[in-house]
Chains A and B, each alone.
Chain A
Amino acid sequence: MGNMAGMARAADGAVAKAAQRTVQAAEAVTRAEMLAEVAAARAEAARARAREAALAELVARAERARLVVAREAAARAEVARVAEARLSGRDAGPATGARGRVVRVWDPVVRLFHWGLVGAFLANAFVTEAGKTTHVWLGYGVAALVALRVVWGFVGSRHARFADFVPTPALVRGQIAEMRRWVRRPHAGHSPLGALMIYNILLTMAGLVATGYALTTVTFFGVPWVADLHETLVTWAEISALLHVVAVVVESRRLGVNLPKSMVTGTKRLP
């Protein structure tokens, strides 16, 4: 009898083990199914993102096309208005808003800094003699302009503030892409590449002022490496200025905005 009981227990044990294995198998199947579902959901999400990106690109393209159509319509309306005025013998008067809106962008301090720096740098690079009184005083002038611009970068008007022109890599890449495709999309303030040039010029000028001042002190007077560094910075500033002028001309043409004129008048005519 004891033996029978033992066999029954063994059978019970086997049944229990089998049941446990069945549960484990069922769990494994469930896990596999869940993983498959997760993978499917991920794939679906990726497809949705791709569709969204494609859609955004389409919307952007449609928006650009709409802008072009609107500009053309405005131009046609303007031509028609002028032609009609001419036919009826009236003076057409100044162009209407068809050619865009005028926006105030550069405050007087920004313009004073820009043209003051142009004058002082050109004078010291090409006219005054290194080490002479005029050269040194113009150098102090540059120092004052740079200091003023840095302060103005925090307290100046909207487009004068550094926070208004932070050249993040994404913004820079975006502008380069727009230049490649010759897209007309002007910035009200500084463009990202323009911002890079500004920071470059500010740093270069700070270096010129520092080395130039050092050369007037007993410690660094006539010390060759300081003089060489000062001259290398001059060369770098000249290259930068040339590149700046070329970029401004190219960008003025791409954007249909007279950028040099805006640095004189302080306003831009945006489409």
Chain B
Amino acid sequence: MKSKLFPVAVALLLLAGPSFADGEDTVDAATKEKVTALLVAQGYDVRKIEHEDGLIEVYVVKDGKMEELFFDADLNPVEHAG
């Protein structure tokens, strides 16, 4: 019984892995679009957008420089040591 359940459990955990390891719910598409448009206009390459510590965290690259930018719900830039 254990031998049958184990692979199933592993498969479930692996599938669930990235989602619960992230721990953050994803940002909705409309917000993502707005943030992306805002930053692309400023010359950023937007890599990833997610929630962190109640803020919107954006992984960006500009002129070979990697940065994480933070915004509040109204898309105002926030200083955050994240």
Contact = CB atoms under 8 A, between A and B. Distances in A.
B80 interface: no
A235 interface: yes
Contacts of A231: 17-18, 21-22
A221 B61 contact: yes
A78 to B, nearest CB: 37
B34 interface: no
B68 A234 contact: no
Contacts of B21: 231-232, 234-235
B14 A221 contact: no
Interface centre among B18, B59, B60, B61 (most CB of A within 10 A): B18
B56 to A, nearest CB: 14
Interface stretch (A11-19, A65-73, A222-230, A260-268): A222-230
A236 interface: yes
Interface string B58-77: 01110010101000000000
B32 to A, nearest CB: 12
Where chain A touches its partner, the secondary structure class is helix
Interface string A231-248: 110111001000000000
Contacts of B47: 221-224
Contact of B13 (A216, A222, A224, A239): A239
A4 interface: no
A25 to B, nearest CB: 62
Nearest to B16: A235
Interface in A39-90: none
Contacts of B68: 131, 222
Contact of A232 (B17, B61, B64, B66): B17
Given A218-B66, A222-B66, A227-B48, A235 B14 contact: yes
B10 A218 contact: no
A101 B8 CA distance: 42
Given A222-B59, A223-B47, 10 more contacts: A221-B47, A221-B66, A227-B48, A228-B18, A231-B18, A231-B21, A232-B14, A232-B17, A235-B16, A239-B13
Interface of B: 10, 13-14, 16-18, 21-22, 47-48, 59-61, 64, 66, 68
12 contacts: A218-B61, A218-B64, A227-B48, A231-B21, A232-B14, A234-B17, A235-B14, A235-B16, A235-B17, A235-B18, A239-B10, A239-B13
Q: Which are the 3 A-B pairs with shortest beta-carbon distances?
A: A222-B59, A222-B47, A235-B17
